[in-house]
Structure 1
Amino acid sequence: MDRNADFGGFLGQAIDLVTTNSRASLLFIAVVGGFNAFGLMMGLIDGNDSIAGIGFGFSIDASEGITAALYQLATAALSIVASYFLLMVLLASCGRLKDRSTRIWAYIGMSILTVLGAVLGMLLLIVPGIILLVRWSAASGFLIGERAGVTESLGQSWEATRGYSWPIFFAFLVLIVGFIVVAGVIGGVAGFIGSDLIIAIASSAAEAAGSVLSLAFGIGVYTLLHDDSQQVSEVFS
């Protein structure tokens, strides 16, 4: 289905990618969410490290032991690797995966750069961090789908999203707010039941589902803004 590169297009494309690749999305939630839920149940992960299913990543404080630190590191590593393979599936489903050979290390490097840039931007009155997240939203598509370099992918995403910042921002905002409402209802039901196991599973599944939506949204932005018609014509010329 052809979509316009606007608010509705970005939102619809992300939802379509998740529903079209529901099996891979559910597998991601089961694996990453399950690993996280086990850590919560065993006291190896602090439940306060996430809000409404949006995780803040790997963190250690002085009160945590080496076992907890290693488990959190393993959780972060699993999340990154699972994210990479989910991105490959999303790109392949829309015919944008040119090569299946791994670029996991480049993806890890770009993820670190993106997080550092966003965090630094957030410290500078928040707005610069939001701008970076919006303008770099399509970078994973260029890195994995087009096999561009790390800085090249960030640069291509910056150029591709030029003039589309507001519709990307509002589409992602609506997607996340809607998700937070649903996750809040599920969390409320889990809290009402009062079972530690159910609460751990619900919060971990919500966090993993938030990651799926975020990854799909980035690929949706990439597929709507990246024009590969020239590359296709070069192949058949």
Structure 2
Amino acid sequence: MGDIFAEGVGIAGRSRTALAAFALGMSLVSSAMSFAVDDTPGIGAEMAVSSVAGYFLFWQVMATEGLLDGSRSRGAGFMAYAAVSLITSVAGLLGLVLLILPGLILMARWSLAGALVVARGSAVFAALGESWRLTRGFTWPIVGFFAAVCMAFAVLLLPLGIYAAVSDETANIGAAHYIVEFISNVASYGLSALISCGIVAIFALLVDRDERMASVFA
């Protein structure tokens, strides 16, 4: 787990401008939509924008690290990436709701699927299967990484969420409410960006190393 965090910190440092732009940009979008759009359509629109922005952030981080196949264009693989993200998110969420550990295990075993789609152009189910193979034997360090991230989400976002909910229920929606909401969005999207760096770190540690070893012994 320490290797993932160490590698991820280095990756985050090299891509800090892109990470900051994503976190601040998405926070501004979220805040603007909360003013202009009703809750349900606003949430759907924000999720769509976040999905596209998250894909390009992921692509940019991998490009910065030199982990993309030379033939990969900026727009390649978005639909496959979106499908993989949906499958892994739903499966992980169900696992977390039913029992925390299965959800974390699924997240760990399929953690590389999106990166394989972006970097290598893998098809959806091929990427899921390859991720499952590559993470065999490394499941628990990756589970530890995701568990630590989930704890960070809880510690940072729970107090802010409670304050926003209480002020909303009491109709005490003043400037402080919107400031807290914006800070919460920055923290949430910032952590999401850092998770992307962690996944790229896992990709570099497992996939890139696996491919280099295969070329040496070919």
TM-score range, shorter chain: 0.7 to 0.9
Aligned residue-pair number: 205
Structure (1/2) with the larger helix percentage = 2
Specify the code of the residue in structure 2 equivalent to 1:86.
L
Unaligned stretches of 5+ residues in structure 2: 168-173
- Partner in structure 2 of residue 79 of structure 1: 50
- Partner in structure 1 of residue 205 of structure 2: 224
- Partner in structure 1 of residue 170 of structure 2: none
* Whole-Å separation in 2 of the counterparts to 1:38 and 1:17: 30
Q: CA deviation at 1:119?
A: 2.9
Which region of structure 1 is more displaced relative to structure 2, 210-219 or 120-129? 120-129
Q: CA deviation at 1:125?
A: 2.8
Cα gap change, 1:186 to 1:113, in 2 (>3 Å): closer
Task: Select 1:26's aligned residue among 16, 20, 28.
Answer: 20
Secondary structure of 1:148's counterpart equals coil
Which region of structure 1 is more displaced relative to structure 2, 82-91 or 110-119? 110-119
Cα gap change, 1:108 to 1:178, in 2 (>3 Å): closer
- Partner in structure 2 of residue 51 of structure 1: none
- Partner in structure 2 of residue 212 of structure 1: 193
Q: Are the counterparts in 2 of residues 136 and 158 from structure 1 also a CA contact under 8 Å?
A: yes
Runs of 4+ in 1 over 6 A off after TM superposition: 184-188
Residues 27-59 of structure 1 show CA distances to partners (whole Å, capped at 9, x for unaligned) of 10122111112234x285xxxxxxxxxxxxxxx
State the identity %: 27
Specify the code of the residue in structure 1 equivalent to 2:146.
F
- Partner in structure 1 of residue 64 of structure 2: 93
1:172 aligns with 2:141: no
* Whole-Å separation in 2 of the counterparts to 1:43 and 1:204: 17
Q: CA deviation at 1:223?
A: 1.1
Q: Are the counterparts in 1 of residues 104 and 146 from structure 2 also a CA contact under 8 Å?
A: no
Alignment of 1:151-162 (within 5 A): 151-162=125-136
Specify the code of the residue in structure 2 equivalent to 1:23.
T
Q: Are the counterparts in 2 of residues 117 and 129 from structure 1 also a CA contact under 8 Å?
A: yes
* Whole-Å separation in 1 of the counterparts to 2:160 and 2:9: 20
Q: Are the counterparts in 2 of residues 140 and 219 from structure 1 also a CA contact under 8 Å?
A: no
* Whole-Å separation in 1 of the counterparts to 2:130 and 2:63: 20
1:111 aligns with 2:82: no
Specify the code of the residue in structure 1 equivalent to 2:117.
L
Specify the code of the residue in structure 2 equivalent to 1:132.
L
Cα gap change, 1:174 to 1:118, in 2 (>3 Å): closer
Cα gap change, 1:124 to 1:198, in 2 (>3 Å): closer
Which region of structure 1 is more displaced relative to structure 2, 87-96 or 179-188? 179-188
* Whole-Å separation in 2 of the counterparts to 1:180 and 1:127: 17
Q: TM-score, normalised on structure 1?
A: 0.75
Relative CO higher for 1 or 2, CA cutoff 8 Å, sep ≥ 6?
1
Alignment of 1:136-155 (within 5 A): 136-155=110-129
- Partner in structure 1 of residue 95 of structure 2: 121
Unaligned stretches of 5+ residues in structure 1: 1-6, 45-66
* Whole-Å separation in 2 of the counterparts to 1:181 and 1:168: 20
Task: Select 1:202's aligned residue among 162, 176, 183.
Answer: 183
Secondary structure of 2:58's counterpart equals helix
Q: TM-score, normalised on structure 2?
A: 0.81
Which region of structure 1 is more displaced relative to structure 2, 26-35 or 173-182? 173-182
- Partner in structure 1 of residue 76 of structure 2: 102
